Structure formats: structure tokens, C-alpha cells
């Protein structure tokens, strides 16, 4: 295929051993997308939406307060308007309305005079809320990707690739991806030009990458094309957010930019602010409003980061007192006043530190809301389903979940969760390395090839390479905190610019000493050409 040998080795290690499948991976095609009508209930959902548009009904679009739910709600609202529909978008406020489709959302839909409610990234567990909607004469179409519970809501249609008995070829779509499949079907029926459908892929890429959906199969196609649309997005809100996040000015927007710069800002208002601000930003056509909302969201994100740090400090202190790494299979912690909007982020950080599933609960009085995060290979939703008698409600998927629980059930939750995970997780893993790649073998051809492997994320992680006998040159401290190190990695045949985040100990490596290095190869394509930089993950004295 004309690829450098190191990349061929990497592809084979990742299971690509035949040329056709490798070409599809490196160069996805829009024709790779599956027929949306293969999703159970999707044709029925499309029929109902077409009827609502044709008769002028008010369609209430109910998203969720994370990026996946916000982008899904935006996509459905704007696309159905393009087809002539009258839509009212809504995302719940975490503190006021709770999560998922609830009575609050149904009451709002009724107040707006809606006769059709369409969800994005929620609703699969909303049995009571869907029943309430039926009482009020509102049909509900659920589009969701979370794992269903024991009972499905009695909705007019449920579009979810994870429904039991489903044979849809790809089950890992994000919530916005499922919403896109509905729009894809509607646009096909109305013979809308494919270019007009593709303009929504920036929203699909945002939501898919932000939700950490596996970037393989259909998601890879949607994300790769979506990033291209994102780089020239006509949504002035996305452009305004990119400016405050300092994204896309000098080089193309990458999946890492979405994951570490754009998504955290949008998520921040869902966590500690008003998620309606993010929805309005994504939908606005007013430049002044876009700039104002982007600045407001950026400030909210700064406050969110401060709140993260406080809760993380308290959680670490509790873990030091309560967690037994030799016997506890999970980390279950709770605290009064822990902000509901940040415990999920804190849980993710603790997963990285302890390599155990983590359940954190923020308490208000006798009730608590929890967020859970898992480790690779442990299905979190299945574990919580075995404990569902403890919860007031719960939902989620393999890697993340949310729940509500009473204070007096927390000790039992800790005991039983540790029992569920006992003996199943193994030791803390060693550092993952894909293959050896000496510094001198990082040629321009290898750097160019890395771009074809993108986007990186869950299901297609950034490759990690091992280089032996490397010398650190031109080492210096960078960053306000004084804990990041800039250096140059050098071996007998070449050198490579490098950065080591939060590794100030590298300043103490004696001049000329050789080390083994695990690194990621980051490549940026800009007007000035390719720029390659190694991100140092770990070092040890040369073996």
C-alpha cells in the first residue's frame, strides 16, 4: 500500500491484515454508512415526524445536558426546521430538572402545546415520563444509545441500536449519531441533497468524540468527515467557541481539540451552569450573541475547574482513609455538598489513579446523586443492574453511569459493589506500548502516515511507542506551574522535539545519560508544513 514499515506493523498489530479493510480504515467513505432503516422503529419514527411536519404540529426536542445530548438536540431541531417542521429545543437543568427525560421535560412540552416529543441521547429508561406524556396526549419518539433496562418505555417509537434482539451492524453510535440516522432517513425520503445532510456532521463529530464513543466502524466515518466540516463550520457559535478555546487558528481542529478544549467548555454549563446557554450558542445566527455566550461559557469552565480541584482533594483524602487496594475491587465514596456537575470528572481522574471502577455520590440531605466511571474490560452498567434494588433510578453504559440513591443505602452499595468486582480486575496494568519505534525512524513519511490513522480516541487510541537508549537534550521548564519539561529526544540516527507534561523529575536526568522512553507522536499539519512532537509518557534508565 506504499506505507512506511512502522505504520504497516502498527496496523497489523491492531488487526488490519487485509488490504480492503485497511483501505476502508485509512480512507473511510460516506458509502460505508449503514442503511438507517435497519434500526428497529426508525421507519416508524420517520413516519410520525413526517406527519407532524405535514400537519404543522409542534415538535418538542428533548436533549440532555452533556455535549452528546446538546448536539443531538441541536441537530434534530435545526434539521427538522429545514424540512419545514416547527421545533422547540430543550435541555434539562441538572439541578432543577434532574437527568434524562423526566416529568419536568414532559410538563414543559405540554405547556408549549407540543403533540410530539423527540428525545436525543436520553429516554430509554424514562418509563414514567413517557407514560405521563401519553396522558397528556403527547407521542414520544426515543432516540438514544444507552443500554435499556428491564422495561422499555411505552413510546411511539424507540430508536436505539442497543435494543435487545437488534441486528443493526454497528451498536456503538453516540446519541447524536442515532439522531443523525433519523435525519438521514428523513432527508433521503425528501430527496434532500446529500451536501445539506453533511453540513450536520460537525455536530455529530462534536457529540461523538465528546461522549468518548469508540472511534471505529461507523463512528470513525462520521467523526472523520465531521471534523472536516467542523474546520469550516458555518455555525457561528462553534466558531466563537473555537476562538475563546484557541482552537483551529493555526492548524486544523483535531479530535484532541474537541476532547480537551471544546467539549469541556460545553459540558461545563451542563455541570454547573445553565445548559441552555450551550444550546443557544450552537443554534444562534447572531454574531454578538455568539461572542457573548462563548465568553460566558469559557468563564463557567474556569469555575468548573476550580470546583473539580476541591472535590478531587476531598475524595483523595477519603480514599486514603477508606480504600484497601489489596481487597477492594471498587472505590465508592460520598460527600455532603459535592457538586453534582463535577463528580463525573473527578471519578474519571480517580479511575486513572486507582485502576478501579469508581462511584462518587454527592449528597444533599438524605438523597444523593452519583456518577460512576469504569476501567477497560469491566461493564459498569451490567454491574449496576445487578444492584438496581439499591437505586431510586440509574442508567448508563459500559464505561459510565449515573444514579440516584438514598443516604442510608450507601454503605450497602460499597459492600456489594466491592463484592461484584472482587477478583475480577487484576493488578494495576503496566504502561501500554504498541511497538518499538526508535527516534531515528520517525521520518516525514511516518509523520504523514500518522495523520491517516486519525481521529484518535476510544477504540482507536493514540499509538504509544518505545524508544530505547535515548538521550535528553536542551531540557528546560515550561508553563506557569513550572512542572512541564521541554526537551529533545536523540539517538544515534536522529532527534525529535518533545514535551513531558507534569514530569519535572526529568530535569534531574544527568547530561548524557541514556533512558528508555514511551512516547506518543503528535503531528500537526499547518501552512508551514508538518510539525512532529513527541509527548513523553514515561521514562526509565536504559535497559
What are the average pLDDT values for consecutive 10-residue runs of the chain, which has 543 residues? 93 93 92 94 98 98 96 98 98 86 96 98 96 98 93 97 90 97 97 94 97 94 96 94 89 90 94 94 97 97 93 94 86 93 91 91 93 89 92 87 94 93 64 91 94 92 96 90 90 95 88 92 81 93 87
- What's the 3-state SS for 410-474? HHHHHHHHHHHHCCCCCCCCCCCCCEECCHHHCCHHHHHHHHHHCCCECCECCCCEEEEEEEEEE
Contacts 24+ apart (CB under 8 A), 91-97: 91/62, 91/63, 91/64, 91/65, 91/270, 91/275, 91/276, 91/278, 91/279, 92/62, 92/64, 92/65, 92/275, 93/65, 93/274, 93/275, 93/276, 94/65, 94/270, 94/271, 94/275, 94/340, 94/341, 95/340
Domain 32-232 coded CATH 3.10.129.10: no
Q: What is the DSSP string of 90-144?
A: E---HHHH-SSS-HHHHHHHHHTT-SEEEESS--TT-HHHHHHHHHTT-EEEEE-
Output the pLDDT for position 165: 83
Phi first, then psi: what are they for 340, rounded to 5°? -60, -30
Q: How buried is 251 (Cβ within 10 angstroms: 0-12 exposed, 13-18 middle, 19+ buried)?
A: middle
Are the beta carbons of 442 and 492 closer than 8 angstroms? no
Nearest alpha-carbon partner for 472 in 513, 440, 432, 439:
513
3-state DSSP assignment of residue 151: coil
Give the domain 432-541 fold. Answer: OB fold (Dihydrolipoamide Acetyltransferase, E2P) (2.40.50)
Per-residue pLDDT, 94: 84
Cell of 408: 442510608
Could you tell me the three cell numbers for 40? 428497529
Exposed e or buried b for every residue in 468-486, given b needs 16+ CB within 10 A? eebbbeebeeeeeeeebbb
* CA angle centred on 279, ends 202 and 146, rounded to 5°: 70
The H-assigned helical ranges of 142-216 are 175-189, 194-198, 201-210
Class of domain 323-421: alpha beta
Strand spans (E) along 286-346: 331-336
Q: Are 162 and 174 in contact (CB under 8 A)?
A: no
Q: Quickly count: other Cβ atoms within 10 Å of residue 421's Cβ.
A: 19
Alpha carbons 283 and 261: distance in angstroms, whole number = 19
Instruction: CATH 3.10.310.30 in the chain: give the residue spans.
Output: 323-421
Largest CA distance in the chain: 77
CA angle 126, 128, 266 (to 5 degrees): 35
What is the per-residue pLDDT for 354? 87
Strands of 58-62's sheet in order across: 86-90, 58-62, 116-119, 139-143, 157-159
The dihedral over CA atoms of 61, 62, 64, 65, expressed in degrees to the nearest 10, equals 80
Q: How far is CA 188 from CA 56, 83, 181, in A?
A: 21, 11, 10
Cβ count near 487 (within 10 Å): 25
Looking at residue 390, what is its pLDDT? Answer: 95
Please state, in angstroms and rounded to a whole number, the distance separating the CA atoms of residues 122 and 81: 21
Q: How far is CA 24 from CA 27, 33, 121, 255, 408, in A?
A: 5, 12, 28, 19, 53
Locate CATH 2.40.50.460 in the chain: 432-541
Instruction: End-to-end CA distance of the chain: give it in Å, rounded.
Output: 35
Distance CA 460, CA 20 (A): 18
The C-alpha atoms of residue 362 and residue 426 are separated, in whole angstroms, by: 28
Confidence (pLDDT) at 9: 95
Distance CA 151, CA 403 (A): 17
Could you give the residue range(s) of every CATH 3.90.1640.30 domain in the chain? 32-232
- The secondary element (H helix, E strand) that includes residue 490 is strand 484-491
Among the listed residues 141, 137, 148, 93, the one whose alpha carbon sits nearest the alpha carbon of residue 120? 141
Residue 444 main-chain phi, psi, to 5 deg:
-55, -35
Phi, psi of 367 (to 5 degrees): -120, 150
529: left (phi over 0), alpha (psi -120 to 50) or beta: left
pLDDT of residue 166: 80
Amino acid at each position: 500500500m506504499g506505507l512506511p514499515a512502522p505504520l504497516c506493523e502498527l496496523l497489523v498489530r491492531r488487526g488490519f491484515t487485509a488490504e480492503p479493510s485497511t483501505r476502508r480504515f485509512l480512507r473511510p467513505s460516506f458509502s460505508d454508512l449503514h442503511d438507517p432503516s435497519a434500526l428497529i422503529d426508525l421507519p416508524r419514527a420517520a413516519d410520525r415526524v413526517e406527519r407532524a411536519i405535514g400537519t404543522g404540529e409542534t415538535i418538542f426536542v428533548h436533549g440532555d445536558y452533556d455535549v452528546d445530548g446538546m448536539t443531538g438536540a441541536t441537530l434534530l431541531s435545526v434539521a427538522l426546521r429545514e424540512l419545514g417542521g416547527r421545533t422547540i429545543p430543550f435541555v434539562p437543568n441538572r439541578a432543577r430538572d434532574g437527568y434524562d427525560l423526566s416529568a419536568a421535560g414532559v410538563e414543559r412540552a405540554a405547556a408549549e402545546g407540543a403533540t410530539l416529543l423527540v428525545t436525543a441521547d436520553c429516554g430509554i429508561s424514562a418509563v414514567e415520563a413517557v407514560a405521563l406524556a401519553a396522558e397528556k396526549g403527547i407521542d414520544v419518539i426515543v432516540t438514544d444509545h444507552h443500554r435499556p433496562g428491564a422495561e422499555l418505555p411505552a413510546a411511539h417509537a424507540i430508536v436505539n441500536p442497543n435494543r435487545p434482539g437488534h441486528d443493526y451492524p454497528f451498536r456503538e453510535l453516540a446519541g447524536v449519531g442515532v439522531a443523525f440516522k433519523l435525519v438521514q432517513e428523513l432527508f433521503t425520503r425528501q430527496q434532500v441533497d446529500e451536501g445539506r445532510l453533511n453540513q450536520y456532521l460537525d455536530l455529530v463529530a462534536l457529540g461523538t468524540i465528546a461522549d468518548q464513543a469508540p472511534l471505529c466502524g461507523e463512528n470513525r466515518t462520521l467523526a472523520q468527515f465531521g471534523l472536516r466540516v467542523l474546520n469550516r463550520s458555518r455555525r457561528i457559535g462553534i466558531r466563537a467557541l473555537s476562538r475563546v478555546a484557541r482552537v483551529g487558528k493555526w492548524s486544523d481542529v483535531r479530535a484532541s481539540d474537541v476532547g480537551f478544549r471544546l467539549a469541556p467548555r460545553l459540558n461545563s454549563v451542563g455541570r454547573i451552569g445553565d445548559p441552555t446557554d450551550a444550546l443557544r450558542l450552537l443554534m444562534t445566527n447572531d454574531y454578538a450573541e455568539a461572542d457573548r455566550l462563548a465568553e460566558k461559557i469559557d468563564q463557567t469552565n474556569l469555575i468548573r475547574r476550580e470546583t473539580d480541584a476541591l472535590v478531587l482533594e476531598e475524595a483523595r483524602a477519603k480514599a486514603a482513609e477508606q480504600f484497601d487496594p489489596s481487597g477492594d475491587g471498587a472505590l465508592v465514596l460520598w460527600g455532603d455538598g459535592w457538586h453534582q456537575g463535577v463528580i463525573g470528572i473527578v471519578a474519571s481522574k480517580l479511575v486513572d489513579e486507582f485502576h478501579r471502577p469508581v462511584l462518587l455520590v454527592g449528597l444533599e440531605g438524605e438523597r444523593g446523586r452519583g456518577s460512576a466511571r469504569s476501567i477497560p474490560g469491566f461493564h459498569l452498567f451490567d454491574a449496576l443492574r445487578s444492584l438496581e434494588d439499591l437505586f431510586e433510578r440509574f442508567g448508563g453504559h459500559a464505561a459510565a453511569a449515573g444514579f440516584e440513591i438514598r443516604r442510608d443505602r450507601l454503605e450497602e452499595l460499597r459492600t456489594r459493589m466491592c463484592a461484584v468486582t472482587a477478583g475480577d480486575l487484576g493488578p494495576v496494568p503496566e504502561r501500554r506500548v504498541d511497538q518499538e519505534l526508535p527516534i531515528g525512524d520517525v521520518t516525514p513519511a511516518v509523520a504523514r502516515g500518522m495523520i491517516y490513522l486519525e481521529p484518535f480516541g476510544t477504540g482507536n487510541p493514540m499509538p504509544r511507542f518505545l524508544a530505547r537508549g535515548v538521550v535528553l537534550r536542551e531540557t528546560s521548564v515550561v508553563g506557569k506551574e513550572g512542572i512541564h519539561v521541554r526537551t529533545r529526544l536523540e539517538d544515534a540516527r536522529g532527534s525529535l522535539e518533545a514535551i513531558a507534561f507534569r514530569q519535572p523529575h526529568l530535569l534531574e536526568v544527568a547530561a548524557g545519560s541514556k533512558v528508555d522512553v514511551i512516547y506518543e507522536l503528535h503531528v500537526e499539519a499547518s501552512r508551514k508544513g508538518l510539525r512532529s512532537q513527541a509527548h513523553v509518557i514515561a521514562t526509565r534508565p536504559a535497559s
